């Protein structure tokens, strides 16, 4: 049995960020020795099975909630610090374009409340008419009532490079990174944590759980279950038919149809994933489940709506995709943001799960490390409390 100061369950974005931050002198906590930090991943690192799957994510400042925009602003220096320690550009700032029905509320917020938040927070943006969205950005045949805005600070996150940077920084400091370690039991007693996997037993003082869709499976031995829903989501890559066409990151807000939520978003061409192609995705799931092990692979029918939207509204792309990718995300049943808190009755166990948070990755790992090591964090995480009504079963 090995002893550690900190054990992390889950080797995806937030888990690796926590490990990287735990051994960083800039984390706002006592620096842990690398060989006293352990990351346990049930699969292999950089796998494509769960929340860290795929090649890119959107970085944006605009939210309907002021506290979320504040958090993104706080994440910027953490991204800059991470960037200073790696060569590959992590977030090309291509801008963020939102357009559509300005009064449509969605799981991503809405255009009108995002504008209010940006104005309140001093985030610069340019308002756009439907005609300007079409003329300047290559979209076509949009409804007459559509409008939007462009925020130049938005970007596209190079997900593989971000994962690799944090892994390498943690590894170089001696962090123990163990893969193919499925957790089968957790015991917490007298300030001591014992984690048993199918490959070993590990003892530690503090525990951070970043298990994504597998959270309930991991925390079951602690007698706690959360009301989570798992969305399986798909995206598709469309070949460019015109060399001059490109897009920023974008999101289209539309009224739902009888078939689906009718929400779509996309990315520019990137050098790190399918050069010559544009990635477009529906912002609705192809499968909803409560058990991540029930996941099925997507079929062409699951992104048929995406193909139809591309054919109707995007210029310079082949209407049929040639590649597809899928991602699995847990969402809190209360419809709010992610969960980031200590577990009830277990002050030495920190939990992060639920929601889309890639844009906040280096900051969320810092917060997890602070909560675990210091017992408190410098940041306001009250909106993400596990004590929100209806979260704990």
Q: Beta strand pairing status for 96-100 and 200-209?
A: unpaired
Select which of 57, 60, 206, 366 is catalytic.
60
User: Is 244 a known active-site residue?
Assistant: no
User: Is 307 a known active-site residue?
Assistant: no
Half-sphere exposure of 29 (CA within 13 A, CB side): 25
Select which of 269, 283, 337, 341 is catalytic.
283
The owner of tokens 């596209």 is 156
User: Is 108 a known active-site residue?
Assistant: yes
Select which of 137, 202, 264, 356 is catalytic.
356
DSSP calls for 302-324 = GGHHHHHHHHHHBSSB-SS-SEE
Rounded CA gap, 100 and 258, in Å? 18
Select which of 78, 359, 366, 379 is catalytic.
359
Select which of 265, 303, 309, 352 is catalytic.
265
DSSP calls for 240-307 = BSSTT----EEEEE----SSS---EEE----SSS-TTEEEEEESS-SEEES-GGG-----GGGGHHHH
- Residue 201: how many CB atoms within 10 A of its CB? 12
CA terminus-to-terminus distance, the chain: 33
DSSP helix, strand, coil percent of the chain (3-state; round to 5): 30, 30, 40
User: Is 352 a known active-site residue?
Assistant: no
Select which of 36, 277, 309, 327 is catalytic.
327
Strand partners, 240: 317
Select which of 41, 78, 101, 108 is catalytic.
108
User: Is 272 a known active-site residue?
Assistant: no
Element (H, E) at 226: none
Rounded CA gap, 282 and 326, in Å? 11
- Residue 203: how many CB atoms within 10 A of its CB? 16
Rounded CA gap, 220 and 81, in Å? 36
User: Is 50 a known active-site residue?
Assistant: no
Rounded CA gap, 59 and 249, in Å? 8
User: Is 65 a known active-site residue?
Assistant: no
Decide if 319 contacts 301 (C-beta within 8 A).
no
Q: How far is CA 171 from the centre of its chain?
A: 22
Q: Point out the residues that are catalytic.
A: 60, 108, 265, 283, 327, 356, 359
């Amino acid at each position: 049995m090995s002893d550690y100061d900190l054990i992390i369950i889950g080797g995806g974005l937030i888990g690796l960020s926590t490990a990287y931050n735990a051994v960083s002198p800039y984390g706002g906590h006592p620096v842990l020795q690398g060989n006293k930090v352990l990351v346990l991943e049930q699969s292999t690192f950089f796998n494509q099975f769960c929340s860290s799957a795929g090649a890119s994510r959107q970085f944006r400042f605009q939210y309907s909630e002021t506290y979320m925009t504040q958090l993104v602003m706080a994440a910027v220096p953490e991204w800059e610090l991470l960037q200073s320690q790696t060569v590959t550009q992590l977030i090309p700032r291509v801008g963020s374009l939102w357009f559509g029905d300005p009064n449509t509320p969605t799981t991503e917020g809405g255009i009108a409340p995002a504008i209010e938040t940006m104005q309140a927070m001093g985030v610069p943006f340019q308002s756009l008419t439907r005609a300007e969205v079409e003329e300047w950005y290559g979209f076509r045949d949009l409804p007459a009532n559509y409008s939007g805005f462009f925020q130049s600070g938005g970007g596209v996150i190079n997900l593989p490079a971000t994962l690799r940077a944090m892994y390498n920084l943690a590894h170089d400091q001696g962090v123990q990174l163990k893969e193919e370690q499925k957790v089968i039991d957790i015991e917490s007693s007298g300030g001591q944590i014992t984690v048993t996997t199918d490959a070993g037993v590990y003892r530690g003082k503090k525990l951070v759980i970043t298990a994504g869709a597998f959270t309930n499976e991991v925390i079951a031995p602690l007698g706690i279950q959360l009301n989570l829903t798992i969305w399986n989501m798909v995206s598709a890559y469309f070949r460019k038919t015109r060399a001059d066409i490109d897009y920023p990151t974008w999101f289209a807000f539309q009224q739902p149809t009888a078939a689906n939520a009718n929400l779509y978003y996309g990315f520019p061409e990137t050098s790190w994933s399918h050069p010559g192609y544009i990635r477009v995705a529906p912002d609705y799931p192809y499968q909803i489940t409560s058990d991540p092990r029930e996941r099925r692979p997507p079929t062409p029918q699951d992104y048929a709506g995406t193909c139809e939207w591309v054919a109707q509204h995007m210029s310079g792309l082949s209407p049929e995709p040639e590649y597809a990718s899928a991602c699995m995300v847990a969402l809190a049943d209360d419809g709010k943001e992610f969960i980031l808190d200590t577990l009830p009755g277990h002050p030495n166990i920190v939990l992060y799960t639920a929601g889309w948070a890639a844009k906040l990755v280096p900051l969320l790992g810092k917060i997890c490390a602070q909560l675990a090591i210091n017992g408190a964090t410098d940041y306001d995480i009250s909106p993400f409390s596990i004590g929100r009504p209806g979260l704990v079963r």
